[in-house]
Amino acid sequence: MDFYQSQDTLTAIEWALRAIIAFIFLLIVTRVLGQRAISQLRPLDFLMALVIGNIIAHPLSDEHLEMKGSIISTIVLVILYLLGIFMILKWPTFRRLVNPKPINIVQNGEILHKGLKKARISVDILLEELREAKVEDVKKVALAIWEADGKISVFLDPKYEPLTPDSMKIHTEPFDMPRVIIKEGIINLKELKQIQKDEDWLVSNLKRLYQTDVKNVLLATIDKKENIKVFLYM
């Protein structure tokens, strides 16, 4: 266990052993901290982001530390990370060990206090998350689940779901992504060519529809029906 103690120098194997022990220890710490602490990162991803940044930073800030140890440690941790990803995909038992199960925190309009405690969040945080999901009343929630990445998945009771054209049997046009033809006063000639238009056509339409020049346009888009929308510098 000499590699565990303070040493003047370490061999490559001792550096690797240190990295392995640190990886396992910090994975345990990450699980203990809970989902809220790691926010929107999976435990394995959070661990790698935390550890590798610190490993690389130390030899860059301390002239007495050599780069060899940091490089070896980083390589070992990357290998462990890739191995962990493989094990998550291959073995459900390991997946459950690393990624906590989703936790029900609201069901049929009722807040599940046990679920809140297990997820380690307060009612205030729950309400904040529901507001971000544009849900103003907990009673409208059929199910809210605290996910492993720290997000809340919210499912409304069907009677509170907003009406959609499909539910009302209304025909709609297929989705169309408008093309950017002017950005910050510069014409996108490539986009114009794809819709078989030229610069003169665009300039004349700007003057006819908006009484302005290209240089005054912050953003202009065009859809498949050739409707031009213009946002001017304000």
pLDDT of 30 > 70? The answer is: no
pLDDT, position 230: 93
Tell me the pLDDT band of 28, cut-offs 50, 70 and 90. low
Read off the pLDDT of residues 33-70 as tens digits, 9 standing for 90 and up.
454 444 555 666 666 666 666 665 565 444 455 556 66
pLDDT, position 24: 72
pLDDT, position 181: 94
103-126 average pLDDT score: 91
pLDDT, position 26: 63
pLDDT of 204 > 50? The answer is: yes
3-state secondary structure the chain: CHHHCCCCCCCHHHHHHHHHHHHHHHHHHHHHHCHHHHCCCCHHHHHHHHHHHHHHHHHHHCCCCCHHHHHHHHHHHHHHHHHHHHHHHHCHHHHHHHCCCCEEEEECCEECHHHHHHHCCCHHHHHHHHHHCCCCCHHHEEEEEECCCCCEEEEECHHHCCCCCCCCCCCCCCCCCCEEEEECCEECHHHHHHCCCCHHHHHHHHHHHHCCCHHHEEEEEECCCCCEEEEECC
Q: What percent of the chain has pLDDT over 70?
A: 72
pLDDT, position 92: 79
Average pLDDT, the chain: 79
Read off the pLDDT of residues 62-108 as tens digits, 9 standing for 90 and up.
445 555 666 677 777 777 777 877 887 788 777 777 677 889 999 99
Q: Which range, of 35-49, 137-151, 186-200, 205-219, averages the lowest pLDDT?
A: 35-49
More confident residue, 55 or 161: 161
pLDDT, position 63: 45
Name residues whose C-beta falls within 8 Å of residue 5's C-beta, 6 or more positions apart in sequence. none
pLDDT of 8 > 60? The answer is: no
Torsion sign over Cα 183, 189, 195, 199 = positive
